[in-house]
A and B are shown apart, each in its own frame.
Chain A
Amino acid sequence: SQQGEEDPQALSIQEGENATMNCSYKTSINNLQWYRQNSGRGLVHLILIRSNEREKHSGRLRVTLDTSKKSSSLLITASRAADTASYFCATDQRNFGNEKLTFGTGTRLTIIP
């Protein structure tokens, strides 16, 4: 069963606007990671946030984690056409005996030039 669900499933915004994607998960985690995937291609690792962290920044990306609500958000600021892709959150339960990453359903982001 899926660990994570993402919201919204699809998002279209104008270039230059900010995009926010949310992810919810069900069980305790070691860390949460966000990946980007361009149209059926490889998964590119964007950012990792540990379970004891609440916020993390990397360039135009900002990730928050609320373990009490079992949710995370990814904010992309000043969006560009090249940001058009699907974005997945993935949870790692390594400390709980699972090595695998469990992915959310993904958000398909379209940036309109």
Chain B
Amino acid sequence: AAGVIQSPRHLIKEKRETATLKCYPIPRHDTVYWYQQGPGQDPQFLISFYEKMQSDKGSIPDRFSAQQFSDYHSELNMSSLELGDSALYFCASSLRGDSVETQYFGPGTRLLVL
């Protein structure tokens, strides 16, 4: 079965640079979530989108923005990168209205800021 696809899988950036992470949800899924997991920490919710509209927001820095496109893929844009942004970034997708609405996670993008 198709899973959530994230690209790139690994990314190295310098401080103050920008980065764009992409997420392709499971086909037919209409909701996308972004999470950030720092080293040795649990995943923290950043933002979610349903039908291309932002639906919930967590602890996402103002330097970050995200959107969901007409084909339901999502992009997380990160500007003025800081060392502390080094983390594993997960995208998850779900189908709203599904009886349990399980969130299925992608493999993650590992971002290293130098």
Contacts and interface: CB of A to CB of B under 8 A. Distances in A.
B56 A43 contact: no
A100 B42 contact: no
Given A42-B107, A99-B33, A100-B58, 9 more contacts: A40-B88, A42-B106, A43-B90, A43-B92, A88-B43, A99-B50, A100-B33, A101-B35, A104-B42
A101 B92 CA distance: 10
The 7 residue pairs across chains A and B that have the minimum distance between CB atoms: A100-B45, A103-B42, A43-B105, A42-B107, A99-B56, A103-B43, A99-B48
Interface residues of A, number: 24
Interface in A25-55: 31, 33, 35, 40-45, 48, 50
A45 B45 contact: no
Contacts of B33: 99-101
B105 A99 contact: no
